[in-house]
Amino acid sequence: MLHSAAVRGVPAVVYARFTPVTCEDPYESAIPIYVTTGQVAAGGEVVPLAEATYDHGGNHHNDSLLFSHGGRSFQAYHSSFGFGWRCCQPMDCLQLLDAAGTVLEDGCTCDRSIPAVCVQVRPDGTWTALVDTFAVCAGDNDCG
């Protein structure tokens, strides 16, 4: 999974690899649990992705990616949800978090003040261009 975003004007690309290690069954459906690794490319440097955790997002698959970089914590998430509180596209924004996980700056509101582009890396190691194709989900009465 690749994310491209700019926080405070610094463009960054995050590569995260989610490896399933087990499943939980809280709702009579298997929810995968992952080990997350990766790298961040920003400011001409490539460094390991720190404190990364990918969350599948339960039955609705409203997934998220928590990670730290440059002394800050971030969550990649979704800014629009459709019918039944289900996301309709890959993660499209970032939230800046404090050490306790409280959102300090929410870039995932309808205006997407911290937009991100997320694409899946193919098995051959290639990916589509990191182009923002965000659209409000059908049935999103808050953003639509």
Digitized pLDDT (tens) for each residue of the chain, 144 residues in all: 666 666 566 788 999 999 989 988 766 678 888 999 999 998 889 999 888 999 999 888 899 999 998 888 999 999 999 999 999 999 999 999 998 889 999 999 999 999 999 999 999 989 999 999 999 999 999 886
Determine the Cα–Cα distance for residues 80 and 135; give it in Å rounded to an integer: 8
The SS3 assignment for 50 reads strand
CA atoms within 13 A on the CB side of 87: 20
pTM of the model: 0.89
pLDDT of residue 3: 63
Q: Quote the pLDDT of residue 6.
A: 61
Q: 63: exposed, middle or buried (C-beta count within 10 Å: 0-12, 13-18, 19+)?
A: buried
Confidence at residue 110, expressed as pLDDT on a 0 to 100 scale: 93
How far is residue 94 CA from its own chain's centroid? Answer: 7
**Residue-level pLDDT at 136:** 96
Cα separation, 45 vs 47, whole angstroms: 6
Cα–Cα dist 136/141, whole Å? 10
Provide the pLDDT for residue 76.
95
